[in-house]
């Protein structure tokens, strides 16, 4: 069991597209285990390798009591139907914002042994898959918000204690959204 440090917004690894996994070896299996351990400890609904500083296309998820992972994921089908709801990110601790996502997606990729895997997700799992695949492309959830929401989010981020972006304003409290189970 190896819990890794989660990289926070501002770390360049989070905005750098990750590389395809080409070797399905012991190192990859250790990476998947580290991601699971770190995600469960946080706790979060998902975690992408760049969030622990590894630039490889791997993510894990923990949704509806199912823990899984996907290597080199590609989203194939996305429903036209959208979902709206609060979304968090372990790289933005304590913050959650309304973020539109597709309601259903199908993603294919590989497991850590190199076997082809397809995941079909709706609701939270679909949100998680879209969020994590974005991480692998160096895209963050703030990039998916409409301009007005993004402005509000950036203000809260600047005021967050963990961000080095601005002077924290102690008088302004970030609204205490419950992010347990939502942060990905």
**What does the DSSP 8-state code read for residue 37?**
H
Q: How far is the CB of 25 from Zn ion (least distance, A)?
A: 26
Q: Could you tell me if 71 and 57 are in contact, meaning their C-beta atoms sit under 8 angstroms apart?
A: yes
Q: How far is the CB of 89 from Zn ion (least distance, A)?
A: 3
132 part of the active site: yes
**First-residue to last-residue Cα distance in the chain:** 20
Q: How far is the CB of 9 from Zn ion (least distance, A)?
A: 9
Please identify, using beta-carbon distances, which residue of 24 and 142 lies nearer to Zn ion. 142
Provide the b/e sequence for 50-62 (b: ≥16 CB within 10 Å). Answer: bbbebebbbbbbb
**What does the DSSP 8-state code read for residue 146?**
-
Please identify, using beta-carbon distances, which residue of 42 and 89 lies nearer to Zn ion. 89
Q: Of these residues, 27, 81, 87, 132, which one is catalytic?
A: 132
Select the span of 12-20, 86-94, 143-151, 166-174 touching Zn ion (CB under 5 A): 86-94
Q: What are phi and psi of 57, to 5 degrees?
A: -85, 80
Please identify, using beta-carbon distances, which residue of 169 and 178 lies nearer to Zn ion. 178
Q: CA 172 to CA 142: how far, in whole Å? A: 21
- Residue from 21, 54, 63, 89 touching Zn ion (CB under 5 A): that is 89
Q: Which residues are catalytic?
A: 132
Name the residues that contact Zn ion, by CB under 5 A: 89, 184
């Amino acid at each position: 069991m190896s819990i890794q440090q989660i990289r926070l917004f501002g770390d360049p690894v989070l905005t750098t597209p990750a590389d395809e996994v080409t070797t399905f070896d012991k190192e990859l299996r250790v990476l998947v285990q580290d991601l699971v351990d770190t995600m469960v400890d946080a706790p979060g609904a998902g975690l992408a390798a760049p969030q622990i500083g590894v630039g490889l296309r791997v993510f894990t998820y923990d949704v509806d009591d199912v823990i899984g992972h996907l290597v080199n994921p590609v989203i194939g089908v996305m429903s036209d139907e959208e979902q709206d709801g609060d979304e968090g990110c372990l790289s933005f601790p304590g913050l959650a914002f309304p973020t539109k996502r597709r309601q259903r997606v199908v993603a294919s990729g590989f497991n850590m042994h190199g076997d082809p895997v397809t995941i079909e997700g709706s609701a939270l799992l679909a949100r998680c898959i879209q969020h994590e695949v974005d991480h692998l492309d160096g895209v963050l959830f703030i990039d998916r918000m409409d301009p007005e929401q993004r402005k509000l989010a950036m203000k809260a981020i600047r005021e967050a204690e963990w961000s080095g972006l601005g002077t924290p304003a102690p008088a302004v409290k970030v609204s205490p959204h419950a992010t347990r189970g939502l942060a990905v």
